[in-house]
Each structure stands twice: as structure tokens, then as C-alpha cells.
Amino acid sequence: MQRKAEPPEETTRMSAIRTLAELLAAGAADRPAIRAPERPALTYAGLRALTERSIASLNGMGIGRGDRVAIVLPNGPEMAAAFVAIAGGATTAPLNPAYKDEEFEFYLTDLKAKALVVQQGMETPVRAVAARLGVPVLELIPGTAAGEFTLEGGTAASATHPGAAEADDIALVLHTSGTTARPKIVPLTHTNVTASAGNIARTLQLGQADACLNVMPLFHIHGLIAATLASLAGGGAVICTPGFNALRFFGWLDAERPTWYTAVPTMHQAILQRAERNKEIIARAPLRFIRSSSASLPAQAMKDLSVVFGAPVIESYGMTEASHQMCSNPLPPGQQKPGIVGLPAGPEVAIMAENGTILPQGEIGEVVIRGPNVTKGYEANPEANAKAFTNGWFRTGDQGMFDTDGYLMLTGRLKELIKRGGEQVSPLEVDGILSEHPAVAQALTFSIPHPMLGEEVGAAVVLREGMECSERELRDFAARHLADFKVPRKVVFLPEIPKGATGKLMRIGLAEKLGITA
């Protein structure tokens, strides 16, 4: 069965937008586009002018459409503006500033970067790596308004392909997370990223009055597309913080008065832990909605967020290869279903059997997608592309099914399913049950290698502040709700579950990291 969301009237206008220049052109000149705490806003007119200046500056250094510019900047308005402005006339490759020397060397080499943008005065090993590799370093000098900057450095040259980018030009390249293999390069065109931004803006009914408080890292697809580009596609503003900080979140909420924010579940859970002592701020700075994506949001966390903030919580489903969004729970009066990632919200979504046939509603298989926001394929990787595409559908690697209302329910990552003897265990299902225990703040189910069964079920748990629970109690609780083979044989209590750079919990390899054997 395949599903496609019914698009509203706004679709016609947004589907005509196929480049970042066209997306920016739709914003009212005097409206704020990029904001930041304690900084004057950069308007749409200012952002358009910044983009034109940046393209001219890059062209004068011999950098044009199709040339790759690596960006290593701290989270904040300059990073958001640099992504938009540089992508307007070249290809952006945002990198995590926390990378070590050898990681920078891998990424700059793999990307074949033609230049590197670093903030003036920023100490980072990437400078030495770039010098070693002969990659020109361009210094970004922040201006007065949020996100305003100038670029200095490079040498005078002529760009092979100057001017503003076209629809099929690559706007953004990102690497897959590479948990089990060498990271793959995902090229995303202007058509891909503007289609996804438009899908998100429509789903959330974003307009001029909206402002997103961005706490996501801006080297990640979630922050770049959902927070930044979707805000601009709706004609609203993105408020750029230095990154997620649970201690500062409520201060930003009070000072900036956003209408929404988007984050990963671990961030929402950290916010919930501090919500009780910030009730007054929550009351005087109401949100229109809260968005969650990039990992499964436990049903209890969704309910708690909705009650605490008095706002609907919109869980969405995204991945890099889809330029982020694939499905989303709708805003009211549509139904938000805890633990379910929602209705198709942009691309066509279907469930595929192993043999490539599309399955009917209610049957479990691999989630597949196709549409203008989906990458045309991994770069220089025919083997990966042969596995990833079947009959024009991109195989997400996620397992799931459509419920009777057409909402997509994920049952797990195919590579994360725990194969215990002859049984398959969905870690997401076990996470959900453990998270319902009143003492549990976070739970992550993972596989433990087992000599006889192949794999055994383990769980890492963070308890709520001031609460206690034993391993036996949790196993007994799980046994009341799960078949015996799904009950974790080992439960470890941790002060914090290991997370990746984007805040996503790291399921694969957790047993090894924690030194756990069967």
C-alpha cells in the first residue's frame, strides 16, 4: 500500500519554488529572517543581499556552482546564514566542529573540498588539516545583525560556473552517520531541499508570524531543513542559539518568545526534567506547537510535553536521504498519535516486501519513499545505490506498517532488530514499554551478543531524578506487557545514555561500549 498526503492550496506556490533564491524571494523584505539572542535581526532583504554578496565573493575566488565549500562554524546565526548564502551559488558541506584532526582529514579529502569556511578567531584543528591538504581557508567575519558576515581570504580566480544556483545544482552534501560502515556521501539538490522545506512549512502551517527556536546542530539535516529552511519557506524567522542547553532553554523561551521549537527526543526529555521549576515562563511564553524528529519519541514523553506546555506535540519522521521529512503527525484538529510517526507529509510512502512488491495496509515490511525531496543516489557508490533503490523507490532501512487510519508505525531499524534465536525483537517496542514505568526517564534497548541465541535483549535505563528502581522490578514490569523473549535479560542503570553528535541515542555497538557480554 502506498500513501501520499493530500496537499492544501499552498502546494501550488511552494512546488514552484525550486531554488534557495526563489525560496528567499518569497519573504517580505522588512520581516526578520534570522534572529539570535541579544542581536538585531537579519531581514529577508538583508539575507538576500548577503547571499548575492557571498556568491560574488566566492565567484571572485574561483568558486561557483558545483564547487564544494566545507563549513566549520559554531552553532548560531552565522552558521545558518552561511549555509543559505553559500548554497545560493556553491555546494555546502557543513561539518561538526567537534571533529578531531583525522576526522577532518577524512571528510575534507572525501568531499574534495575546494575551500573551507571558518569563523575568524576560532581555534580548531581543521585549520592545520586544510593547510596540510592545500585547501584554501576563508575567514568568516561576523557583522552586527544576526547572521550577517563577510568572507576574507582565498586568491583571485574565475569560477567555471558563476552566478546563482539552478534547480538541479547540489545545494548540500552530508555524510551518513556510518555506524556500521564507511560513511556515504548524500548529495541534495536545490529541488530536494526546497521541496522538503515546503513540505514541512505546509505540515506545520508556518507563516510570517512564526519563529522557530533552533537548538539543533546546524551540521545536521534536522536543524538545516526543519528549523532553518522550513521557517524561511513559511516567511517566518529562525532564532539561532549556540546549541542545545537545558539550563538556558527556558531563558531563551522567555526572552525570544518563539512560536515553536524542534528537537530530538533526548532534548525534549532534558527540557521536561527542568519544566517544573520554569512553570511561570511556560505560562507567559506559550508555544503554538512542539516538533520532534530524528528518533522515536517515547509515547509518555509526548503526552508529558503536551500537558506541560499546553501545546500539541508533532512527531515527524525524517532522514538525510529524504532531505529530512517523510511523515508527520498533523496539527489539530488532526490526531496526534503517541509512538506513531504520522501521515505521509511530502513524498509518497509505501511498505515493501523483501521481493520488491508493495504490501497492503496493516502488513509489516520495509518503509520506502519517492518524491522530489529524495536524493537521486549516493555519490560514487553504485553498490550502495543498487541496494538502496528498487523500482524507483528508496529503501529507508526502517521496518513499519500503516495503521487503519493511514498513519505510519515504525517497528524498528532493520539493522537494529534483535534476532534472538528464531525470534525478532523490535527495540522500539521494548523502549516504549520500559518508558511507561513511572521511575524511568529514558530507556534504550540494544542487542547483546550471545553464543547460543545469536543475540540477547539488553536495556540501558536512566531513572527520573529522586526515584529508585531495581533491575528485577523493571524486568517484572516488562514481563507483564511483553512476551518472555522480548524481556531484557540485562538492565543497566546509567546517569546518561551515550549519544551521537546530533543528540541521537547510540543503539548499535552499545553493548561493546558498556563492556556487556551475555
pLDDT at 16: 86
Q: What is the pTM of this model?
A: 0.91
State the Cα–Cα distance between residues 100 and 129, nearest whole angstrom. Answer: 10
Beta strands in 59-177 (DSSP E): 68-72, 91-94, 115-119, 137-142, 149-153, 170-175
User: Which residue has cell 545544482?
Assistant: 169
Give the pLDDT confidence of 164-199 residue by residue, as tens digits.
999 999 999 999 865 556 889 999 999 999 999 999
Say if domain 2-399 classifies as CATH 1.10.10.10.
no
Beta bridge partners of 39: 36
Buried/exposed code over 309-323 (b: 16+ C-beta within 10 A; e: otherwise): bebbbbbbbbbbbbb
Beta bridge partners of 260: 212, 289
State the Cα–Cα distance between residues 515 and 248, nearest whole angstrom. Answer: 34
Give the pLDDT confidence of 123-144 residue by residue, as tens digits.
999 999 999 999 999 999 999 9
State the Cα–Cα distance between residues 427 and 292, nearest whole angstrom. Answer: 19
CA-based nearest residue to 288, from 188, 199, 190, 212: 212
Phi then psi for residue 213, to 5 deg, are: -85, 110
Beta bridge partners of 92: 69, 172
Beta strands in 312-425 (DSSP E): 313-319, 324-328, 343-344, 348-352, 365-370, 389-390, 393-402, 408-413, 418-420, 423-425
Low-confidence ranges of the chain (pLDDT < 50): 6
User: Which residue has cell 514541512?
Assistant: 200
pLDDT at 276: 95
Query: Which grid coordinates are listed for 96?
Result: 561538526
Give the pLDDT confidence of 330-370 residue by residue, as tens digits.
999 999 999 899 999 999 999 999 999 999 999 999 999 99
pLDDT at 10: 54
Beta bridge partners of 119: 140
Angle at alpha carbon of residue 230, lines to 331 and 257, rounded to 5°: 70
Sequence spans of domains, the chain = 2-399, 417-514
Orientation of helix 77-87 relative to helix 44-59, angle to 10°: 60
Q: Which CATH architecture has domain 417-514?
A: 2-Layer Sandwich (3.30)
- Are 445 and 488 in contact by the 8 Å Cβ rule? The answer is yes
State the Cα–Cα distance between residues 284 and 205, nearest whole angstrom. Answer: 23
pLDDT at 9: 52
State the Cα–Cα distance between residues 429 and 448, nearest whole angstrom. Answer: 17
Phi-psi region of 36 (alpha: psi -120 to 50; beta: other; left: phi over 0): beta
| DSSP assignment of 77-100 | HHHHHHHHHHHTTSEEEE--TT--
pLDDT at 370: 98
High-pLDDT (> 70) share of the chain, %: 96
pLDDT at 241: 98
Query: Which grid coordinates are listed for 361?
Result: 495496509
CB atoms within 10 A of CB 62: 18
